[in-house]
Amino acid sequence: MSYRAFKFIVSGRVQDVNYRAFAKGIAHDAGVVGWIANDTTGQVVGEAQGSEGALDRFKKALHTGPKHARVKGVDLSNERILYGLEYDVFEVRRVRSD
């Protein structure tokens, strides 16, 4: 079975509004694995892997965010096909600084 994957950067008012927890909940419900973290520039970044349908649902949620978020943009990169998942769960990481 093949899967899809992408990296994402979400900009706007997305820190201190439970954005990461929101994304983790959507990922869990949709069957998406990967990770999400705040970065030092005020954005949220991460990587998602799963079936095409699961990732479509997750992408839509990234654009919406939780109630108090104000998403200005979602940039997707490194979209690719996988023949096995590289993660077991979707995890919230504290901060990405690279």
* Strand 3-13, strand 70-82: pairing: antiparallel
Our count of domains for the chain comes to: 1
| Rounded Cα–Cα distance for residues 42 and 53 (Å) | 29
Q: Which member of 4, 13, 18, 20 is catalytic?
A: 20
Q: Is residue 88 part of a domain?
A: no
Would you state the pLDDT for residue 8?
98
Q: Is residue 75 part of a domain?
A: yes
- 38 catalytic residue (yes or no): yes
Would you state the pLDDT for residue 97?
55
Structural domain for 45, as ranges: 3-83
Q: Per-residue confidence of the chain (98 residues) as pLDDT tens digits?
A: 789 999 999 999 999 999 999 999 999 999 999 999 999 999 999 999 999 999 999 999 999 999 999 999 999 999 999 999 999 999 999 876 55
- 78 catalytic residue (yes or no): no
Residue 83 dihedral angles phi and psi, to the nearest 5°: -110, 15
Q: The domain spanning residue 46 has which CATH number? A: 3.30.70.100
Q: Which member of 4, 13, 38, 80 is catalytic?
A: 38
Q: Where are the alpha helices (DSSP H) in the chain?
A: 19-30, 52-64
Q: Is residue 56 part of a domain?
A: yes
| pTM (2 d.p.) | 0.93
Tokens encoding 86: 């590289």
